[in-house]
Amino acid sequence: MTDAPIAPRRPTSRTHHGDTVDDPYEWLREKESPEVIAHLEAENAHTDAATAHLSSLRERLFQEIKGRVQETDLSVPTRRGDWWYYSRTEEGAQYGIHCRAAAAPDDWTPPVLEPGVAVPGEVVLLDGNAEAEGHEFFSLGAFDTTDDSSLLLWSTDFEGDEVYTVHVRDLSTGATLDDEIPGTASAFFTPDGTSILYTTRDDAWRPDTLWLHRLGTPVSEDVSLFHEADEKFWLGAGITRSRRYLVIGVGSSITSEEYLVDLTGDLTAAPQLVWPREEGVEYSVDHAVVAGEDRLFILHNRDALDFELVSVAAAAPTGESHVVVPHVAGRRLLGMDAFRDFATLEYRSEGLERIGLLDYSSDAVDELAFDEPLYSAGVSGNPEWHSPYLRIGYTSFVTPGTVYDLDLATRELLLRKRATVLGGYEPADYGQQRAWATAPDGTKVPISLVWKRSFGTPGAAVRPVQLYGYGSYEHSIDPGFSVARLSALDRGVIFAVAHVRGGGEMGRQWYEEGKLLHKKNTFTDFVACARHLIDAGVTSPDQMVAEGGSAGGLLMGAVANLAPELFAGILAGVPFVDALTSILDPSLPLTVVEWDEWGNPLHDADVYAYMKSYTPYENVRDGVEYPRILAVTSLNDTRVLYVEPAKWVARLREAGASDVLLKCEMVAGHGGVSGRYNSWRERAFELAWLLDTLGLAD
């Protein structure tokens, strides 16, 4: 095995608020430097050598994942206009193939498509495998058709940096038009099909400008419709399902503002402001026609921590409002989707996602019921303004991804498809339950547990545990099925999720108590969950591995410093472990927009001191016995730069950590490698390391 690479220490320092910090590994930030590339390649070579004994296990895990997946498969068709749209995969192919087939008039029941059976009248719109040919990385961004179904728009990224090039195809002739638009973030057609609306990013990777491109004209003549100058705010745009309004939204982590453009008029007209931005107030807008009047439905948190839903006249959005769904503490309203005759309301209560149907005439909300105690459900794939069915996606820790259509007349859930898991998978062979840990401040923190029943109920005997956490941006880790996870469960591992503060599982207050100057709650909650599992006899420190990615990677680095004795290993994916350095530099991608989440250490001495007290890189402890650590990153990641884990690993080795590995994908982005087989191999690599750390590599 090769020796671990030792990064040279080079004098570098920074001073803020009278505090000078030595940062001897900052030179690793020079991405174009041959020396940096050579160091990353040396790290990869060391990781390859250190894990060479796991090669056969990696191959077995890959084959297990592959063997459980129905490789030739199709999605449930979704009706839009006169066509059924769906995607399919073929055995041996990395990427999906996007297709459509003609729909009969008034036929809203999706055709049942059989894997490997030719679909009558199929039109291939885009073959991702053909698009990816000749490229190590491929990501499909935008995908849209005109309302008259004559043109296709799609965008591609071949680097992993989330910068997309837009292309347009005439579906009647198959010809690709000259309307190629580079450097985009998002893109879609206008309803009349004559133009493209797209967004671009500034130098800090922040979407900041909305453009109008008229088909057949040079990109140089494109018109800027809206520009957001404030560096704390990102920009997004979309069209209401009613096809009446273009909605332009700008927002930070805590504040939002939206504008409307009436699509029956001039697209270049000045957008109509809905509500002026107010620090700390978030809102979103949708449109419906109620009793013959154009109404805007506004979901907001003004004096309503967990949000309320109101409606206003579209002609006077700042005028008198009607409360449709009032604020209820602990019931976090997440989103509202307007349809012609009703709306859907998605919300979170008691830690679970809920779906309700809103009656426009009575404001009554009819909640849909599901059988499992832990599940995830959401409204998805409903492009039509009016349909007799509502498409719903459903899953749980033990139920594979499921597609239902809700019959709106009978309220019956019609099963359209449940993902096939090959190899004799039986949901009843696996259990799921919720436990509760107690944080240092007395807060009860939920833990979800998943296990294979043949190994016994958690707590009956000490077992290996994979403890996962995230805890930032109000993002919730909801119950969800994983084919790859079965390889660990079938070897006796219990999968656990620590639903720590900073996430959104228990409402907006849960998020507020895990951000800014309360961020340490995220870390101490996770440690409390680990201690609970040990104290309850579920596991032991030598049989527990912690895992998290991105901001969850920050969590991993923090708990490694706080409680290294509790874990046998820590798996950190694209980890945000040099957070203070990044948040101090407004020239780095996305830094300024992050200040609402973490605080502004550049201008606030208290925030600076608080962040410095927890960020993993600054708080590596000399002479401490760290658990085994695997950090996985990507060279082209624009969200968490590769340099963060590279510096962290160098510092850990300097401090004496004996088993620390860095794996850097040299052609990939924040989501890792592209292509399903590549992704399965990447996960097999991580799982092999995890199982080896738990003593289950045989």
Residue 561's nearest CA partner among 533, 525, 523 is 523
In angstroms, the CA 626 to CA 631 distance is 14
List, as one string, the DSSP characters of 92-106.
T-SS-EEEEEE--TT
Name the residues annotated as catalytic: 550, 637, 670
Written as six digits, the tokens of 405 are 């259509």
- Across 97-178, the runs of DSSP E, i.e. the strands, are 97-102, 123-127, 139-145, 151-157, 164-170
AA identity, residue 35: E
The pairs formed by 485-491 with CB atoms below 8 angstroms and a separation of 24 or more are 485/450, 486/64, 486/68, 486/421, 486/425, 487/61, 487/64, 487/65, 487/687, 488/687, 488/690, 488/691, 489/430, 489/450, 489/451, 489/452, 490/452, 491/464, 491/691, 491/696
441: left (phi over 0), alpha (psi -120 to 50) or beta: alpha
Q: 332 pairs with which residues across the strands?
A: 348
52: left (phi over 0), alpha (psi -120 to 50) or beta: alpha
In angstroms, the CA 537 to CA 551 distance is 29
User: What is the longest distance spanned by two Cα atoms in the chain?
Assistant: 74
* Contact by Cβ (8 Å): 466, 493: yes
Q: How many of the other CB atoms lie within 10 Å of CB of 620?
A: 21
